[in-house]
Amino acid sequence: MAKFKHAIVVGASSGIGREIARQLAASGCRVGAVARRGERLAELEKEFPQLIVPCVHDATDYDSVPKVFQDLTGQVGGLDLIVYASGVMPIVEVDEYSFEKDKAMIDTNVLGAIAWLNQAAERFSHTGHGSLVGIGSVAGDRGRMKQPVYNASKAALHTYLEALRNRLDRKGVKVVTIKPGPVKTEMTAGLDMPGMMEPEQVAAFVIKKASKTGEHYVSPKHAVIFAIIRNIPSWIFRRLNI
Amino acid sequence: MDLPTPQHLALPGDKIREITGFGMSFRADSYVFQPTTLDEVREVFALARQVGRNIVLRGAGRSYGDAAIDAESIALDFTQMKRFLSWDPETGIAECEPGVTIEDLWRTGLPHGWWPKVVSGTMFPTLGGALAMNIHGKNNFRMGTLGDNVLEIDLMTVDGKVRTLTPDQELFYAAISSAGLLGVITRVKLGMKKVHSGDLKVYAESLPNWDAQIEAFEKRAENADYMVSWVDCFGSGAGAGRGLFHAAWHLPDEDSESLLPFHQDLPEKIAKVVPKSQVWRILKPLNNRFGMKWLNAAKHLSGKFVGNRKMHTQSLVAFSFLLDYVPNWRNAYLPDGFIQYQTFVPKEAAKRVFAKQIEMTQEAKMEPFLGVLKKHKPDRFLLSHSLDGYSFALDFKVSEETWPRLQRLCQRMNEMVIESGGRFYLAKDGTLTPEHAQAYLGENLTTLQLLKKELDPEGLLTSGQARRLKLFESA
Ligand SMILES: Cc1cc2nc3c(=O)[nH]c(=O)nc-3n(C[C@H](O)[C@H](O)[C@H](O)COP(=O)(O)OP(=O)(O)OC[C@H]3O[C@@H](n4cnc5c(N)ncnc54)[C@H](O)[C@@H]3O)c2cc1C
Ligand SMILES: NC(=O)c1ccc[n+]([C@@H]2O[C@H](COP(=O)([O-])OP(=O)(O)OC[C@H]3O[C@@H](n4cnc5c(N)ncnc54)[C@H](OP(=O)(O)O)[C@@H]3O)[C@@H](O)[C@H]2O)c1
């Protein structure tokens, strides 16, 4: 397992991202921790004073990303890993078609990811090293009735990362897609889902796989189940209640 | 050179590169700018201030450690500022931009009978980088360092001002040798040495031990033009210090054909079959303790039985730049690279300290794969590495796993060097501590710090090495 020395985690104020930042810092890595809630980042910094570099930023403020990214890599002292973990999943009823909620998901889950990861991809393509990780989801494997745009946002992220992988693999850069199933975080608070994982567990998995280019399901069970789900013909899938 | 417009405050993303020391064990990402004019250098100073970044100066990147790299800084790379501003084939005097290399010098001079007075073991260093480290050659005991053989330099400080410095000014001795931390050397004027032949007369002698090594140098120091000796660092007991000594002399007779580059250029293939660009691939599987023990022993034996105590002729280029013969040889040390550890010890203590160094590396089972001995004389440059004595340069393979142990080993060896009154060479350093640097530099470090305050008060110029050695932290 590669030992990372300089990392950025976007979406480091709670859930999976916060755990990734914490575990990286605990291994001695300097981490640029990005999110909107500064007080949460300050708590992290208190926990790892020399290692967490807090950066208050809204990932949907796309125009500011190039400068924020560059300044942060400067403060961190380099970059060998970036994880984009920011994401939103507002509750959407099965008969709800709220453009506002849908746009919020595309803005953060897709465009924010592209704004940040494009910067990292450009940098890594020139330096010839680095790992770029996006937190996708099993939810992106099919369009399902409950979360059309969340599903679409994760599918877009997966395809974008696949394309980056094809661009950057030959330059020595790792591009990694992580597909967790349900995880106990603020995003899923109040949702009752079977087999929920702890964010610590997912974070450890992300760090372990961060230097292994490719797509990774966090749970081996999901790897099998979603291989089947991905191949269910559409005319059957639309009749199922999943 | 494309600089961003002032309102666009981020540095151009496509300028970033991973740059390394020659040993590849020190790496850093930097925004690389390659100016071609003095105004472009000034523009980069202004840009660095605008974006709040430091600058590290860089020539051909032939320093082994972290002297010409610095994470996240702007790397000001002079390899494209490489014009001869003047050249007189009658007098052998050249005025060069800092990116002119030692190779450019000999290719320009030799057809007219001029050879650079001081060259390093590789022809690729730039004059700016070579003077910042004040390089020495195999003739250091006779000719001194490169700085001793320069007529004039221009130094551009970070305020954009250029001052011309000559050997009668104190600042000349600080600008040269201070590892690019006081300003940019933007012009170098030097004279070359008149030669009549492009060949040297070379004497080889296989040596059994340390006593014989020092004796060989002392015996020929009076009249040899060049001296160097290879040491088999796996030799122990009675064989400790065994190796192969070479002395060389310029030839007095006119031989104009041998002055031409085609006579000098190294062949494309080794033993007429292996393309030299591929030789490192053959070396790689041997590049471990056992392979190298065997290779060193084989070299010792062949030195003993082939050409021992005999004279032969060799071209200036082949003798001077043997290491350039195998391009990319350093790749044999991938993935984690290597360091060169070169220490300078006064004459009386040299044998004792170097023999002990090798014993320590053998005890630690971390023997250097290459050891080279040279004789030196003192000079008056501020961060000089040279002294009246000997230097021993050792190549150590680095791996992520053994690096902490290797650092501790080198630091223990440093203690012995300091205790003997010895010195270190920043071009080869990757293991000094701030305390060791302070100990060997003494008062000169204080002088450097005072000059830094005067010439670069904002501390714009830095390097990974300057940070590691905390050169300016106590200033
Ligand atoms: C195979 C090999 C053999 C060698 N043999 C010898 C030898 O025999 N003797 C010897 O003395 N050395 C030797 N060296 C070391 C080498 O000569 C020095 O490291 C030299 O400084 C390299 O020059 P460079 O242009 O690559 O500079 P770099 O390594 O790029 O930079 C060296 C220093 O110069 C500074 N610098 C660069 N340009 C400028 C400028 N224009 N103005 C001010 N500062 C500047 C940098 O900041 C840095 O501190 C050898 C190196 C190799 C790889
Ligand atoms: N939880 C699950 O079951 C699950 C399953 C699969 C995949 N995922 C994915 O995993 C990732 C992390 O989710 P999580 O479960 O850890 O959720 P979480 O606890 O809600 O964390 C989301 C993180 O994203 C940040 N964020 C949201 N909007 C942002 C914006 N505009 N700008 C910057 N940062 C923003 C949040 O920080 P601020 O609010 O402070 O800005 C927070 O740090 C998401 O991509 C999610 O889709 C989650």
Q: Please tell me whether residue B71 adopts helix, strand or coil conformation.
A: coil
Mean pLDDT, chain A, integer? 96
Torsion over CA: B370, B371, B375, B376 (sign): positive
Residue A130 burial (CB count, 10 A)? 27
Integer Cα distance of A76 and A5 in angstroms: 9
Torsion-angle region of A213 (φ positive above 0: left; ψ -120 to 50: alpha; else: beta): beta
Q: Judge whether residue B91 has pLDDT over 80.
A: yes
HEC per residue, B372-394? EEEEECCCCCCCCCCCCEEEEEE
Q: Judge whether residue A1 has pLDDT over 70.
A: no
Q: Judge whether residue B474 has pLDDT over 70.
A: no
Matching residue, tokens 């890594």: A124
- Residues B146-163 have pLDDT tens digits of 999 999 999 999 999 999
pLDDT of residue B323: 86
Q: Judge whether residue B5 has pLDDT over 60.
A: no
Integer Cα distance of A17 and B165 in angstroms: 56
- Residues B23-40 have pLDDT tens digits of 999 999 999 999 999 999
Question: Taking Cα atoms as reference points, which of B395, B433, B399 lies closest to residue B414?
Answer: B433
Cβ of A1 under 8 Å from any chain B Cβ?
no
- pLDDT confidence tier of residue B7, bands split at 50, 70 and 90: very low
- Residues B366-402 have pLDDT tens digits of 999 999 999 999 999 999 999 999 999 999 999 999 9
Structural tokens at position B54: 């430091």
pLDDT of residue A39: 98
B323 vs A152, residue with greater confidence: A152
- How many Å separate Cα B323 from the centre of its chain? 12
Residues in Cβ contact with A99 at an 8 Å cutoff, skipping those fewer than 6 apart: none
Q: Judge whether residue A206 has pLDDT over 50.
A: yes
B374 vs A193, residue with greater confidence: B374
- The pTM of this model reads 0.95
Question: Strand pairing of A81-84 and A131-135?
Answer: parallel
Instruction: Say if residues B114 and B87 touch (Cβ distance below 8 Å).
Output: no
* Domain count for chain A: 1
Instruction: Say if residues B350 and B390 touch (Cβ distance below 8 Å).
Output: yes
Residues in Cβ contact with B407 at an 8 Å cutoff, skipping those fewer than 6 apart: B431
Integer Cα distance of B35 and A110 in angstroms: 39
Residues in Cβ contact with B127 at an 8 Å cutoff, skipping those fewer than 6 apart: B96, B98, B99, B100, B101, B102, B105, B185, B188, B190
Mutation target vs B (from A69, A70, A75, A82; most B CBs, 10 A cutoff):
A70
Task: Tell the CATH topology of B13-79+450-467.
Answer: 3.30.43
* Ligand 2 neighbour A54 (Cβ under 6 A): no
Can you name the residues that pair with B231 across neighbouring β-strands? B243, B371
Matching residue, tokens 């926990």: A47
Q: Judge whether residue B272 has pLDDT over 80.
A: no
DSSP B303-328: HHHSSTTEEEEEEHHHHHTGGGGSTT
Inspect the interface and report whether the beta carbons of B16 and A123 lie closer than 8 Å: yes
Residues of A carrying an active site annotation: 150
Q: Counting ligands in written order, which one lies closest to the CA of residue B320?
A: 1
CA of residue A174 to ligand 2 center, whole Å: 22
Q: Judge whether residue B8 has pLDDT over 70.
A: no
Q: Judge whether residue B196 has pLDDT over 90.
A: yes
Determine the length of chain B: 475
B7 vs B189, residue with greater confidence: B189
Q: Which helix (H) or strand (E) holds A161?
A: helix A148-168
The Cα angle at residue A17 between residues A16 and A21, in degrees rounded to 5: 120
Integer Cα distance of A194 and B337 in angstroms: 50
DSSP B345-373: EEHHHHHHHHHHHHHHHHHTT---SEEEE
Provide the edge-to-edge strand list for the sheet that holds B310-315.
B310-315, B199-207, B243-250, B226-231, B370-376, B389-397, B338-346, B423-424
Integer Cα distance of A25 and A18 in angstroms: 11
Integer Cα distance of A123 and B28 in angstroms: 13
* Ligand 2 neighbour A83 (Cβ under 6 A): no
Q: Please tell me whether residue B98 adopts helix, strand or coil conformation.
A: coil
Question: Strand pairing of B27-33 and B55-58?
Answer: unpaired
What chain B residue is nearest to A73 in terms of C-alpha separation?
B72
pLDDT of residue B276: 83
Write down the ipTM of this complex: 0.92
Mean pLDDT, chain B, integer? 95
Structural tokens at position B404: 């902490």
CA of residue A88 to ligand 2 center, whole Å: 6
- Residues B207-220 have pLDDT tens digits of 999 999 999 999 99
Instruction: Say if residues B68 and B26 touch (Cβ distance below 8 Å).
Output: no
pLDDT of residue A2: 58
Q: What is the CATH number of domain B84-194?
A: 3.30.465.10
What is the CATH number for A24? 3.40.50.720
Cβ of A166 under 8 Å from any chain B Cβ?
no
- Residues A64-121 have pLDDT tens digits of 999 999 999 999 999 999 999 999 999 999 999 999 999 999 999 999 999 999 999 9
Instruction: Say if residues B83 and B65 touch (Cβ distance below 8 Å).
Output: no
Mutation target vs A (from B26, B72, B462; most A CBs, 10 A cutoff):
B72
Question: Taking Cα atoms as reference points, which of B261, B279, B276 lies closest to residue B332?
Answer: B279
Q: Which helix (H) or strand (E) holds B467?
A: helix B464-468
Residues in Cβ contact with B256 at an 8 Å cutoff, skipping those fewer than 6 apart: none
Residues in Cβ contact with B217 at an 8 Å cutoff, skipping those fewer than 6 apart: B141, B227, B229, B245, B373, B375, B390
In a domain, A242, yes or no: no
Q: Judge whether residue B100 has pLDDT over 90.
A: yes
Matching residue, tokens 């030959």: A170
Matching residue, tokens 């340069």: B393
Phi, psi of B426 (to 5 degrees): -60, -25
Q: Please tell me whether residue A77 adopts helix, strand or coil conformation.
A: coil
> In chain B, what are the domain boundaries?
13-79+450-467, 84-194, 199-436
Range of the domain at A144: 6-237
Q: What residue's CA is closest to ligand 2, atom 11?
A: A85
- pLDDT confidence tier of residue B326, bands split at 50, 70 and 90: confident
Determine the length of chain A: 242
Q: Please tell me whether residue B170 adopts helix, strand or coil conformation.
A: helix
Q: Judge whether residue A230 has pLDDT over 80.
A: yes
Cβ of A214 under 8 Å from any chain B Cβ?
no
Determine the angle formed by the axes of helices A15-26 and A38-47, rounding to 10 degrees: 20
Structural tokens at position B427: 């071009």
pLDDT of residue B136: 98
Integer Cα distance of A206 and A184 in angstroms: 16
Integer Cα distance of B314 and B327 in angstroms: 20
Structural tokens at position B72: 């996240």
Q: Judge whether residue A16 has pLDDT over 60.
A: yes
- pLDDT confidence tier of residue B4, bands split at 50, 70 and 90: low
Residue A224 burial (CB count, 10 A)? 11
pLDDT of residue B270: 72
User: How many Cβ pairs closer than 8 A exist between chain A and B?
Assistant: 35
Q: Where are the beta strands (DSSP E) in B132-239?
A: 150-156, 162-165, 184-191, 193-194, 199-207, 226-231
Residue B323 burial (CB count, 10 A)? 16
Question: Taking Cα atoms as reference points, which of B287, B269, B370 lies closest to residue B332?
Answer: B287
Of all atoms in ligand 2, which is nearest to the CA of residue A59? 32
Residues in Cβ contact with B372 at an 8 Å cutoff, skipping those fewer than 6 apart: B121, B228, B229, B230, B231, B392, B393
Task: Tell the CATH topology of B199-436.
Answer: Alpha-Beta Plaits (3.30.70)
- pLDDT confidence tier of residue B475, bands split at 50, 70 and 90: low
What chain B residue is nearest to A121 in terms of C-alpha separation?
B13
In a domain, A1, yes or no: no
Integer Cα distance of A200 and A137 in angstroms: 17
**Letter for the amino acid at B83?**
R
Q: Tell which A residues from 49 to 68 touch B, by Cβ distance under 8 Å.
A: 66-67
